[in-house]
Every structure is written in structure tokens, then in C-alpha cells.
Structure 1
Amino acid sequence: MKKFLAAALAALALGLGLWSPPASALEVVDERGVSVELPQPPQRIVTLLPSLTESVCALGACARLVGVDRYSNSPVSVRTLPQLGGGIDPNVEAVVALRPDVVLLAKSSRVTERLEALGLKVLVLEPKNHADVRRVLGKLDQVLGTHEAPAVWRAIDAAVSAAAQSLPAAARGVRVYFEVNSGPYAAGESSFIGETLTRLGARNIVPAALGPFPKLNPEYVVRANPDLIMVSVRSAQGLEQRPGWSTMRAVREGRICRFTAEQSDVLVRPGPRMDEAARLMAQCLGDKASKGGAR
């Protein structure tokens, strides 16, 4: 009788809008293969990777962010949030003080276990290629309960295709060296940057066999003799003076695209701004294609 009465009262309250059933717990498997359970969609989120910050915002949940890493700077609204240090080694005490429902960070972060030991929910997500970006958007969609990921991905994919279609025939087949930083570390064919270049019809001088972001012997680049170099102004200083580089076709003919710091942030983050990255690379290819064409 008591059970019947309780059920009847609950049904009445639900009908009157006075009570709603508790949300079902969420269970997500992260990059570690660890199953992370959340009692409900998180309302207080810390992100410690710029691409994850941008992805949360692209899914319409920017208002739920309570803290970010020092490199997260897009969209503009996140710049007013508490900055918690670098993503690899953030200020743990500052993270804990924000009482987040979940912390989103990269595999390379050194604080995952420590945060978990302190009782925080941690979700490790680190996209490295186009398929990863789509998958991570889907996982975040599931966690956030936003149902926006399919539309966000379609927009990214369509914009990359549009960027490719905008290029003149002369830009296709251009052999490209994309320098991530002056290590020199390069973006190889298997990286998300390399995948975008392939979709734009360019040829990457760094094959997939070398990994997504290999550190190269500078002589490797000289021997490969690319038609075009893409590089950030952050690491382009003195590029022409590197041993042997003045002999390369791209350097001799001025076929170098130097991206601003802001543009570089767009280019090196695997997330919802990959469409903007594709347009930047397409503009570079289109502008430089007239200087000699591909080989």
C-alpha cells in the first residue's frame, strides 16, 4: 500500500510539474580506455587543452566553463576565465578550488591521477586527426547533453571541402613542408594538418611512416626540396639562414607562408576551427601557386 501511495504521489507531482525524475548517470570511455561515470551532464567544467575548450564552446556549452589552461584563447569569452597554468602541468590546487564537475585534459597531462586521487572526475580526450575530432565532438556531446555534434562536424567537413574546391588547378600537387615549430617538428601526412593538406590536393614531403609530428633532421627538408613552406612567425625567424636552406626551391622563389601567432593557433588545434585552418592553408596554396606551380 505504501509503495502504491508513493508512486501515486510521484505521478501527481510529475503531472503538476513539481518534481522530475533524477537524470540518468552518464558513462563515457575516454582515451585511456577508462570508463568515467558522471551523475548528470556537468555544469562546472575545467578544460586544460585549447582544442577541448573550443569544442565545448562549439557545442554551445561555453557558459559551463569555469577555468581553462593558459593557452585557451578562443572564443574571446574564455579569456576572462581563471587560467590554471599549462595543460601538461597545471596548478592542481587552483583546479580543485573551482569545484568542477569534470576536468577535460590531454593524455600528455601529468596530473590526471592526482586530480582523480583528490576526488575529481577526469576525462582524457586528445584528438590527433580528423576522425578523432569527430569522435571527440561526439563524446563531448554525450557528456554535455547538447546534441550539436553532428551539425558541428558537418559544417567543418563541408567548409574543408569548399576550401579545396576554391583552389585553382595550378595549386594541386604542390609539395608542402609544414613546420609546427623550429625543432624542427613537422606536420606529417597522418596528422590532422596533413589530412587537411591532402584534402586540399597538396603533397606532404613528410610521409605517414614518420608519424604525425616527427622531429626532423634539417637536412631532410633540404633534400626533400619542397615547393612551398608553411610556418609560423614564431619559428620562422632566420629560416633562410639555416644551413643549406637557401638552396631550396621554396626559399629561392619566396614560396613561404608565414602565419601570424593568431593564425598559427587556428592551424595547430584539432577542433572546430579546422574549417578556418583549411581556408588559411588554401589561401596560402592559391597565393603561392602562381610562383612556379607544382613539380
Structure 2
Amino acid sequence: MMSRVFFFRWAVALTLSSAGVLHAAGVQVTDDRGVTVALPQPPQRIVSVLPSLTETVCELGQCHRLVGVDRYSNHPAPVRALPQVGGGIDPNIEAIVALKPDVVLMATSSRGVQRLESLGVKVLAMEPKSSADAQRVMGKLGQLLEVPDAERIWRAIDAGVSAAAQSLPPGAKGLRVYYEVSAGGYAAGTKSFIGEMMARLGLQNVVTPAMGPFPRVNPEYVVRTNPDLIMIGARNVQGLESRPGWRSIRALREQRVCVFTADESDVLVRPGPRMAEAARLMARCITEKGAR
């Protein structure tokens, strides 16, 4: 009799486990701090406080698990209706806790990581800066959300970047480019995901590797390097020609300046699922303004 009862319980447990009801092992993911975050089951309530992470969750088909986002997360459209919990650097801790998330996705540089953890909230801290980082983050989020085809999704994104590079005319190769990412003269360096994309498109970045991923560049440096083409967002373009010495820069003299709209800039500066679209935007700029 006892053996029959044991067998019955074992069969029921096996059936439930196969159906995904039991998650005895749970989910474990190691973030960019080297901290392993363990959950009893894949998270159903997620707060994302970094736009690239928000977009990656949605690209993995799991947008419905998001219950809150930062003020800058605006893509895809459904996330705009979610509660906003401040910015990545200055998250609203109380608002995040009130949403009762299973896990919070945020940048390693965010000031809110330790405070949330001190309140017992699970935090997965990731901050992609290179293409390899973006690929790794997609894999980790796929692991967290139990999405098995994350690598396939990434391969499609990478193929899109390659296709954009192949679409360029031969005269576009070797152009010397300055890409200004944000106000204050912060530029895309060669070690950033933007700089890596520029290299894949056959461009020469006037910012040197030693300057880092996103250095603050002295305006005089740009004058000295005399780029063939300037890429900049509409938010930062005002007063470009009035910068000391900039009228002499070849790109301005020959009107080779690509000004990206606010929406386009969002695509370009986020290392995530829209990187193929970012490559196409760059390729269009190069074809229209830079091809010799």
C-alpha cells in the first residue's frame, strides 16, 4: 500500500513539474556586478529602469510582464501606458516598491541598486556599453524569462547591421566621422556600441580608443581632427556653427552634418534590439551626406 502511495505522489509531482507548475530549481542569473540573483520562478512582475533593458524584454516577447518603467522608456508603444518610476540615475524607490516587483532591472551605475536590495527587492543590474554587452544582456534576460530563442533574435539583429553595411556605396568607406551623443560634447568613442557600429559601416572615428567609450570631447579637439562628417541629435545641434573654430571644419563647410530627430536619437543611443535600425539610420546619413 505504501509503495502505491509513494508512486502516486511521485507521478503527480512529475506531471506538475513537466507542466511547469513546479519550479523547484527556480531561476538564477548573474548580473554585471557578479551578483547572482535567484528567484523561485521566472518573474511575472518586472520593473525596468533602463530603456535598452525595457526594449529587450519586449523584443523577447515578454512586454506583458512589465509593471513599471523609467521616464525615458518609450518603446514599444505599450510601455508608455505603464507607471513611471523616475529615471535610471534617480529612481523613485517608493514607487518601485509599491509596484511589488519580482525583480527590478536597472543599470549598475544607478544609485538605487543598494537601497532597493536593502528593502528586500531583487535587483538585476546590467549596463550594456558594447555590442558584445548587448548580446550578453539579451542572453541573460532570455535566461531570466525562460525565452529559449534569445540567441536567434540576436542573430537577426546582427544580420541587420551587416546588411546596412553592405548597402553603402564604395565612396562611403573610410569617412572620418565625429558622433556627438549628448549635450556637453559627449562623443561616441571607438569602444562604445555606437563606435563599433561605425567601424562595421567602414567609418573612421575621430575619437581615439584611449579616450574611452563616451568621452567628453574638447571642441578644439574636433577642430583639429577636422572630420568629413558629423552626426548629432536635434536636441544638441543648436549653435553648432558658433562653437569656436567650427566653421572651418570640413563637415560644416561642405554641409555634411546629419541631424537625427529625437526619436531617431533614441534608436541610435540604446544598445539593444533596435541596433539594426540604428545601422540603417547611419547608413542613410552616410549615403545622403557623406558618400564621395
CA displacement, residues 95-144 of structure 1 (integer Å, 9 cap, x when unaligned): 00100000000011101111111111100011100000110000000000
In structure 2, what is the equivalent of residue 270 of structure 1? 271
Q: How does 1:40-189 map to 2 (within 5 A)?
A: 40-189=41-190
CA displacement, residues 69-96 of structure 1 (integer Å, 9 cap, x when unaligned): 0000000010000011111111111100
- Shift in Å at residue 157 of structure 1? 0.6
C-alpha separation between the residues in 1 aligned to 2:20 and 2:163? 45
C-alpha separation between the residues in 1 aligned to 2:33 and 2:17? 41
In structure 2, what is the equivalent of residue 224 of structure 1? 225
CA displacement, residues 193-251 of structure 1 (integer Å, 9 cap, x when unaligned): 00000000010000111100000111000000000000001000010110000000000
> 1:88, 1:109 within 8 Å by CA — same for their partners in 2?
yes
**Unmatched runs of 5 consecutive residues or more in structure 1:** none
The alignment-based identity, stated in percent, is 63
Change (3 A) 1:3 1:109: farther
Change (3 A) 1:11 1:194: same
Matched length: 291
Give the aligned CA root-mean-square deviation in angstroms. 1.8
- Shift in Å at residue 289 of structure 1? 2.7
> 1:84, 1:90 within 8 Å by CA — same for their partners in 2?
yes
Which deviates more from structure 2 when the two are superposed, residues 47-56 or residues 18-27? 18-27
State the TM-score, normalized to the length of structure 2: 0.96
> 1:49, 1:104 within 8 Å by CA — same for their partners in 2?
yes
What SS does structure 1 have at the residue aligned with 2:286? helix
State the TM-score, normalized to the length of structure 1: 0.95
Q: Which amino acid aligns with 1:256?
A: V
C-alpha separation between the residues in 2 aligned to 1:152 and 1:192? 18
**Unmatched runs of 5 consecutive residues or more in structure 2:** none
Change (3 A) 1:7 1:206: same
Change (3 A) 1:245 1:8: same
Change (3 A) 1:60 1:16: closer
> 1:14, 1:20 within 8 Å by CA — same for their partners in 2?
no
- Shift in Å at residue 22 of structure 1? 1.7
> 1:10, 1:19 within 8 Å by CA — same for their partners in 2?
no
- Shift in Å at residue 182 of structure 1? 2.6
